[in-house]
Structure 1
Amino acid sequence: MRRRSKKTSKQSYFPCEIEKLEKDLKDGFFKSSADFTVKKFEHENKRIFIAFLNYMVEKDQIFKHITEVILQSNTEWDTKALENNIPISGSETRESVKDIGLDMLKGYVAIYIENDDACVTYPVPQLKERQPERAETESLIFGPKISFTESIQTNLNIIHWRLDNPSLVTEKFIIGNEIPSEVRLIYLKDIADDENINEMRNRLNKLQTDDVLESSVLTQYVEDNSYSIFPQLYVTELPDRFCYELKEGKLGVIVDKSSSAIIAPTNFFSFFESTEDLYTRWNMGSFIRLMRLVAMFLSITLTPLYVAALTFHYEIIPTALLVSLGHSRSRVPFPPLLEALILEFLIELIREAGARLPTKVGQTMGIVGGIVVGQAVVQAGFTSNILIIIVALSALASFTVPSYLMGSAIRIIRFPLIIMAGLWGFIGLFYSYAFILIHVLKQKSLKRPYFVPIYPFRPKDIDNSIFRIPFLKSNYRAYSNMPKKIKRFEEPSRQKKEDIDE
């Protein structure tokens, strides 16, 4: 469908001569570009101007569907005739040089009939898209393995394929003053709450920035508290996770040239959920979710507890273990605080190095580096065997979190907790836990409570976050999402027992 752009000034740039349009486009956008290509020819006593960027367009389509059509037709060409006869969809009618230049940077070809009142642009981009592949960051054992790609058109195709629902809405936004990017707000209008939709829509409309590099960058612009270490919006590369959350009444946002999508609003416990929990049996899914929460608590507790006990609270350590600890630390020249910080930093160094190296080399680096370096620091007397075990368990526990952003936040929190435990023992540790809890309770996600269903306490939402119940019993969506349709389905009536005598 043709769309006419709004005039940028009271007086339109057109009509004008072809030479003036060419000069203004070159001076304003393509002065340093050797790929700015202009074709000028005369047909039926009218001069026609065609401009495009050589590396951005499919030149075969320009010749076949534009140039050839114009030259072989006896039509008296003008803007309206172009719109009706050029067999390419998605045309735009532009009345300013700025709009024409921005279109050309996206892979459009500009066509202007001299002294006409507007210019028409057609999309003929030369796209080199990555095909949907297996998800890397959020790997699954059960369920769909496909992930989003960098093409917004491919991602929209995947979403529509998975959600064949007439109430699916995709609102388009253009964000970025210098490098505009297409952003889509996606939701099911029959389920999603209007307040959530309006809030996200307002945040996207008010956003002023030069460009949006990626979905993770957009979350930092639109989240409620950008100073918090905890992520307040969920970023996923899995279409099945994205579509499942839409069906629960949440909103989704996708960004062009980004291989991940945003889910909002979300809560703290959503970062410990995985769609794989849905594909396994309910009791196994519940166990795995609870295990992740316990692992998160152990990850931020074990090393600080070790430091606090050895620095201030020897009395809580059993005698047999105290002897073993004393023997293990007899050659360590550092206090427990410095010892723990060195080892935690070493673990993070190995993890970061393994993540940045190629996949096969990175796996080898993580295994060999952990074994070799760990054994070496123990033999050199820099740390004890017991602390090696504790730090390794803490690191493993943090890796159980499905969300990379939440897992990173948990690993970073360990460092201030270790410092507080080394300076003030259990008192400093408990003050730190209280500060973290208060901070989490105060957070919002799209102005919705972040720590639901615990605070505010909503017992009916617990089965949608902390653990699972059988699907036949889970016929209510989470109240915290404020969905228009709270019921997923009507609970099946219990079959009446047949009379045995009959």
Structure 2
Amino acid sequence: MLKNVQNSAKNQTPADVVKRAKKSSDFKEIIKLVLGVQIHILYFTTLIEHKTMEQVFLPYINECEKQKDHSFDLNQFKDNFPLEDVIRTQDAKEIEDKIHQGFVLITIETTSEECLLVNVSNLSEGVRKTNETENEFSVTGPKLGFVESLDTNILLLRSKLKSPLLTTEEFVLGTLSKTRVTIVYLDGITNEKHIETVKKRLSEIDFDIIWDTSVIDQIIRDNSHTPFPLYVSSERLDRISFTLSIGQVVIFCDGSPQAISGPSTILDFFIASEDYYYNWVIGSFFRLIRIFGIIFSIFSSSIYVAVVTFHFEVIPADLLGPLIKSRANVPFPPLIEVLFLEMTIELLREAGARLPTKVGQTLGIVGGIVIGQAAVAAALTSNVLLIIVALSALASFTTPTMAMSNTIRLLRFPFILMSSWLGGLGIMVGFAVLLCHLFKLKSFGTPYMVPLYPFRRNNFKDSFIRSPYSEISKRPGFLKPKETIKYSHVKKYQQKEDINDE
């Protein structure tokens, strides 16, 4: 159906475009007599900037109406127009695209095909005024984030990276939405292979509506059947600036406050912007805590099920008594007990995310306490498991990116099922399958598990720990940048003697 509409659109004339547009109630037509020639001014009232229309566009037309000593000249009329973006065309497809972007169409009575398109679009209407990061919080460092306007986002990026190497290339995607999508990279630093890969995948997209960068993420990813995010998605200006500086390619989408960058590795999703604002010792400590929290979140519940079901002999004698006492009146097997609590936590989390902020916070705190206490009092679960599941939920929140946090939440359930079936062996089998899956993943053709696989010793300086700035002056080798050195550093500081008062 859509292809038939597109094929018929190729054969249409400007008159056909106007006829179709007039079916919309917000499409307006103004007829003026300029230098003895009747012109028709057509536009969508909801797309134009009325201030420019009333103070610049229409006054110029009215001035032309008053002139009596000249004949109408289309080229002179176009050249003297007080607005910059004026296009002369007779291409019906271009006319249709432009009037839906906020251009005003001017048709001339004496010429059946020649038209003028004047850019009077409103770029600020409906755009969020504040650009503070809402989903990626930080205690230290800048709070600037992107908004839903593509032009504003590029402006913010250029104000941060004032470099002539910063290059942008724009695409229009979506057969219905005609969404502007821009890729950004540092020319002369970013590997050309990555740039060409991104451009090729974007040019091959055939989709109706591009709502957000997350849609592009799903369409262009190397493996669409993995729950793991393959590209870093962020709304933080400082984080996207950092990914550009190391040689990654960034994709912006008009209408989305999120930007995606790649090629990325799995360790990129556990790196927070704050790691680089603290001393390297403190930053490394927080990063290790974060990685440990993710491991604990995935395996804690499944280990509890495996130990209580199959391997109770590994429980220390001092802990065995309290554990037996807490589970003495629980009528369910460990699997049902764990699934009940895990699903309760997920329901509270989803409800808190969908409700208004103040109500969501109250529900999360009060609901968690009330339901947890009631579940223990009703002998539906044990105290020990309640503590484990609560800590597991807290640990999953330490992930800086929401996409990876959702993946961690999902991974817990297969491991719980495997541990209830085969115990510790089931956890090991699940872990082996997970590793094999991760080793096969790629991001823009780059291995996902670098520097672990393939092993890259030099890239460990900014992976599990954040080394001092003197040690991370080179860009990651797996990105194969054209320029490997980010900045020069002094290996030894010459200590000057203090001035002693004599």
Q: Secondary structure at the match of 1:120?
A: strand
Whether 1:118 aligns to 2:104 is: no
| Matching of residue 62 in structure 1 with residue 60 in structure 2 | no
- Aligned ranges 1:130-279 → 2 under 5 Å: 130-279=128-277
1:95 maps to a residue whose letter is: Q
Residue 365 of structure 1 aligns with an amino acid whose one-letter code is L
Task: Give SS of 1:147's match.
Answer: coil
Give how far 1:498 is off: 9.5
1:285-300 pair list within 5 angstroms: 285-300=283-298
Q: Secondary structure at the match of 1:235?
A: strand
Does residue 368 of structure 1 match 2:363? no
Shift of residue 12 of structure 1?
A: 9.1
Show structure 2 runs of 5+ residues with no match.
Answer: 1-7, 498-502
CA distance in 2, matches of 1:240, 1:488: 16
**Residue 28 of structure 1: aligned partner:** 20
Letter in 1 for 2:75: K
- Residue deviations 1:217-267, cap 9 Å, x none? 110111111110000011101011111110111111110011111111111
State the distance in 2 between where 1:38 and 1:99 align: 19
Within the candidate set 80, 105, 109, 2:75 is matched to: 80
Equivalent residue of 2:340, what SS?
helix
The AA in structure 2 aligned to 1:118 is: E
Preserved contact between residue 36 and residue 72 of structure 2 (Cα < 8 Å): no
Which letter maps to 2:450?
V
CA distance, structure 1, for counterparts of residue 413 and residue 480 of structure 2: 37
SS of 1:231's partner is: coil
Distance 2:366 2:345 in 1: 12
* Greater Cα shift, 91-100 or 145-154: 91-100
Q: Indicate conservation of the 8 Å contact 2:470/2:491, yes or no.
A: no
Q: What is the correspondence of 1:383-394 to structure 2 with a 5 Å cutoff?
A: 383-394=381-392
> What TM-score does the superposition give when structure 2 sets the normalisation length?
0.92
Contact 1:193 1:482 in 2 (8 A): yes
Query: The residue matched to 2:423 in structure 1 has which SS?
Result: helix
Residue 119 of structure 1 aligns with an amino acid whose one-letter code is C
Offset at residue 68 of structure 1 (A): 2.2
Instruction: Letter of the 1:122 partner, please give it.
Output: V
Structure 1 residues 312, 346: CA separation in 2 closer, same or farther (over 3 Å shift)? same
State the alpha-carbon separation in 1 of the partners of residues 161 and 22 from structure 2: 42
Distance 1:55 1:10 in 2: 26
Distance 1:293 1:379, change over 3 A: same
CA shift digits 1:262-315 (9 cap, x unpaired) = 111111000000111101111111111111111111111110000011111111
Alpha-carbon separation, structure 2, partners of 1:497 and 1:97: 72
Matched-pair contact (CA < 8 Å) for 1:304–1:421: yes
Q: Could you tell me which residue of structure 1 aligns to residue 398 of structure 2?
A: 400
Residues in 2 aligned to 1:12 and 1:336: alpha-carbon distance in whole angstroms: 68
Q: Distance in 1 between matches of 2:114 and 2:157?
A: 36
What TM-score does the superposition give when structure 1 sets the normalisation length? 0.92
In the TM superposition, what is the alpha-carbon distance from 1:105 to its structure 2 partner?
1.9
Does 2:43 correspond to 1:43? no
Give the secondary-structure state (helix, strand or coil) at the position aligned to 1:413.
helix
Q: How many residues align?
A: 483
**TM-superposed deviation, 1:28:** 2.4
Which digits, 9 at most, give the CA deviation of each residue in 1:120-159, with x for residues without a partner? 2222223322123321111010111011111111111101
- Residue 99 of structure 1 pairs with residue 97 of structure 2: no
The percent of aligned pairs where both chains have the same amino acid is 37
**C-alpha distance in 2, partners of 1:497/1:65?**
64
Q: What amino acid is aligned across from residue 25 of structure 1 in structure 2? A: V
Q: Which runs of 5+ in 1 are unaligned?
A: 1-7, 15-20
Residue 108 of structure 1 corresponds to: 103
| Residue 90 of structure 1, CA deviation | 2.7
SS in structure 2 at match of 1:301: helix
Q: Which whole-Å deviations, capped at 9, do the CAs of 1:320-351 have from their partners, x for residues lacking one?
A: 21221111111111000011001000000001
Residues 493/341 of structure 1: CA separation in 2 closer, same or farther (3 Å cut): closer
Number of the residue aligned with 1:284: 282
